Amino acid sequence: MSIIKDLVIGVDSSTTACKAIAWDKWGKAVAEGRSTFALVSPRPNYYEQQATLWWDAFCSTLRSVTAQIDANRIAAICITHQRETFVPVDEQCQPIRNAILWVDDRCRQQVKDLDKRFGSDYIQDLTGKGPSTKQSLPEFLWLQQNEPDVIPRAYKLLDVHAYLVYHLTGCWGTSTPCADPMGILDMRKGTWAADLLSQIGISLDKFVDIKPPGTILGEVTESASALTGLLPGTPVVAGAGDGQSAGLGANITGPGKAYLNLGTAMVSGAHIDDYIANRAFRTLCSPVAGAFIGEEVLGGGTFTISWFVENIAPDLRDLHVHVSPEEILELAAAKLPPGALGLMLVPYWSGVLPPYWDENATGITIGWTGAHRREHFYRAILEGIAYEHRLTMEHIEQATNVPLTEYILMGGGSRSALWCQIVADVSGKRATRASTAEATNLGAGVLAATAVGWYPDVRTAANAMTSNERSFEPNEKMHKIYDRLFKEVYVEIFPALQKTINRLTALTYDEPND
């Protein structure tokens, strides 16, 4: 009796962990596994990883999943991953140095050099993204200037997806939505930006072939089968970067809605049919082949909340009650009026990408009085991130001339009912929780399900495999208050202080020479 191949596996190789989930045809999680790995910081603002740990965690995670289910049931596997991170490898796909991570901040000077040499408008128009330390492009320049032997020695420069695909299949390949966050893709052509790479002295043969998302890139080899528990010959499907995959897992495959991932970083994106380059947002390739995503990224999402709890409210962890510090702070913050009694926060704890593209940006709080307590600061964080989200998403609406009516929320922050309501009240749009906290992984499952023919196309698969939970409707009275605070105060703060903040950063970022 033959076993029906009724499951697909999504694998999310993120910044600190690898998680694999077996999904059925209706988007139900049947089995899952997780393995963590470390990152290293050899110097302040330098973040690296041993790429071999990605593969070790990948294999461990897959063995956990295949121990729970019959591997004969697995129809295909698809990978989503931490974006912008890359690793130089030799011909056997062995790393010749540590991977440089997307959170790395060593290449500030190279970002400035790119801006001076090419002009930020040229790079924005070509790649859909302004020069940023979050991308691979300026890190390549850093390597050329500081470790000049690395790129000439490298056989390939790989994104995380390409690295794992090679070890799984023996094939050199990646997808457009996996490669384009690196900042070296010609977005109109869907190919590596040959002229840009040539001008910085890097040969195209350092990069792998690019395929559309949902393409079958290869099959699991005998050696990979022994390490993972997957059957030899299992199809490996081209995935998407974690941000885009999350959108697919939230069923953002057409105009009118956007996803909002309230994770360590706050990432939000809306579907765009045709390519638009605009400095007010990042443009990325969509998991829906041929389409694009207008995206906002704010490094200080729940990271800012974690920072606050660890440094401002650590005593709340010692209360020995069955409630988290965040829940305690939320209960107190929920009793406050909108605007936190005049305390306002600009959440640039990790710089800002669009719309200002300023690596020197830092967090701002204004309005302090003796009446303010920790709960006011906590509410100001939630409100500040909601304001920042509105700022970029309104730019996307203006550029596309398509109004957004609903945000699909996911990530750890979406568990906060207060934060969900604040997002709805600040934006004036419905905020709806996705049914699964694993929307990023589910997006990979959707691509795998489509590739093996369960559904005729990605949109049909996403519609069948995703669902939502509670919706938060904007409170008209609260929205009117937030609308004035946003338009009359929030949007003015950073532009008014940007020059001063940049000067402060310049005077204090580097170690004193004396």
pLDDT tens profile 119-153? 878 999 999 998 888 899 999 999 999 999 999 99
Which pLDDT score is estimated for 480? Answer: 98
CB 231 within 8 A of CB 225: yes
Give me the mean pLDDT over the 317-328 stretch.
85
Q: Is the predicted pLDDT of residue 37 greater than 70, yes or no?
A: yes
**Hey, what are 415's tokens?**
């568990």
Residue predicted with more confidence, 51 or 1: 51
Residue predicted with more confidence, 192 or 299: 192
**Hey, what are 169's tokens?**
């299949």
Q: Is the predicted pLDDT of residue 417 greater than 90, yes or no?
A: yes
Q: Is the predicted pLDDT of residue 419 greater than 70, yes or no?
A: yes
Average pLDDT of the chain?
94
Q: Is the predicted pLDDT of residue 511 greater than 50, yes or no?
A: no
Please name the residues in contact with 46: beta carbons below 8 A apart, sequence gap of 6 or more. Answer: 104, 105, 106
Please name the residues in contact with 130: beta carbons below 8 A apart, sequence gap of 6 or more. Answer: 120, 123, 124, 279, 353, 354, 357
Q: pLDDT class for 322, splitting at 50, 70, 90?
A: confident
Please state which of the ranges 266-270, 294-298, 504-508 shows the lowest mean pLDDT: 504-508
Give me the mean pLDDT over the 29-56 stretch.
94
Residue predicted with more confidence, 323 or 71: 71
Q: Is the predicted pLDDT of residue 477 greater than 60, yes or no?
A: yes
Give me the mean pLDDT over the 212-236 stretch.
98
Which pLDDT score is estimated for 3? Answer: 81
Q: Is the predicted pLDDT of residue 252 greater than 60, yes or no?
A: yes
Q: Which secondary structure element, helix H or strand E, spans residue 156, and what is its range?
A: strand 156-159
Which pLDDT score is estimated for 512? Answer: 47
Q: pLDDT class for 510, splitting at 50, 70, 90?
A: low
398-432 burial by CB neighbour count: b if 16+ within 10 A, else e? ebbebebebbbbbbbbbebebbbbbbbbbbbbbbb
The full set of domains in the chain, from first to last, is 7-239 (3.30.420.40), 252-514 (3.30.420.40)
Q: Which residue has tokens 């929920």?
A: 334
Amino acid at 226: A
Which pLDDT score is estimated for 281? Answer: 94
Which pLDDT score is estimated for 393? Answer: 96
Instruction: Give 421-475 pLDDT, tens digit per residue.
Output: 999 999 999 999 999 889 999 999 999 999 999 999 999 999 999 999 999 999 9
Which pLDDT score is estimated for 266? Answer: 92
Which pLDDT score is estimated for 301? Answer: 87
3-state helix, strand, coil in the chain (%, to 5): 40, 20, 35
Please state which of the ranges 56-60, 187-191, 281-285, 502-506 shows the lowest mean pLDDT: 502-506
Instruction: Give 379-414 pLDDT, tens digit per residue.
Output: 999 999 999 999 999 999 999 999 999 999 998 899
